[in-house]
Structure 1
Amino acid sequence: MQLAQDKDELLKYFIARFNRATLGIKDLQMSDVVTAMMSGTQSRSFKMSLSKNPSDTMNELLRREEKQSNFDSNSIFFTKKLKTRAKANNVRLRLMRLSEAAEKLRRQAAVNVQTGKENDARELLFQKKKGMQAMEKSNSRIEVLDKLSAKLNEV
C-alpha cells in the first residue's frame, strides 16, 4: 500500500483518503496499517506518536488522528493570527513613518516659502500630498487587518 500525504494536505483529509483505500483490503493487519500510515503521513508529531505507541485498533488510530488534526488546525489558526497581527503592526509603523515624512515636508515647504523659493515649496507640498494619499491607503488597510484580527480572536 503506497499512499502519501500531499504537501499541503491536512492530516484529516489524508486519513479519509487512507481509510477509503484500506476499506477494500481483506485480512489487513493493524501493524501493516500503522506502518503504511507512518510512511505516508507528513505530520512529524503524528509519526512520533505512532512510533512510540502503535495503535491496536482502527478506532484508536482514528481517535488519535482526530486529536492530532485538532492540534494541527489550532496551530495553523494561531499562526494565521500572529501573521495578521504582524501585518497590522507593520502597516502601523509605515503609517507613522509616512506621517513623520509629511510633517517634515510641510516644515521644509514653509521654510522655502519664507526664503522665496515658492517653486521648491510647491514641489514639496506635492510630495506631501502623495504621502497623505499613501497614509489614507495604510489607514484603510489597518482597518481591514484589525477587523480580520478581531474576527480571528472571536473564534
Structure 2
Amino acid sequence: MGRYSVKRYKTKRRTRDLDLIHSDLSTEESIQSLKHQPQDETKPGLGQYYCIHCAKYFLDNKALGAHLKGKVHKRRVKNLSKLPYTQLEAEAAAGTNLNKYIEKVNEYQQKEPARLELEKQLLSTQLEENDQKDSLAQQEFAGEMAVE
C-alpha cells in the first residue's frame, strides 16, 4: 500500500460534519439533550462537559472553558454560521428545483436570526450550569463520606 492510500483512511482526528452539527443546533430540545447528557463512564469527564459546536468531550469545566476561548472553537462556530451545503443547492446550481431552493433560502433567512439568538442564549450559561452540577456532586460526595 502506498503512502496516500493509508492517509486516506485515517479517522483518528475525524470530527462530525458541519451539517450534522447544524442539525444538532437547530432545536432547543436537541441542544438541551446534548448539554445535559446522562453520565457515561466511557466518555471523558463522564460525558458531562461537551462542546456542541465541535462535538468534543472534555475532562472538566476548566478544559471546556479554555476550549471555548480558543481559535479552533471560534473557527468552527464561524463555519457553522453558514447554511450547510445540501442536495437541493446542488440541484439548483444544475438548474433544476430553482424555485424550491429560493423558497428554502427565504425561509432560512427568516428563521436564522431567531435560531442564532436561541443558540446563544442556551449556550451562554453552559459553564455556569456545569459549575453548579459540580458543586452539587461534591456536596453529595461529602455527604456520603460523612455518613460512612
Common fold by TM > 0.5: no
Name the structure where helix makes up a greater proportion of residues.
Answer: 1
Structure 1 length normalisation: TM-score?
0.31
- When Rg is computed on C-alpha atoms for both structures, the one with the higher figure is 1
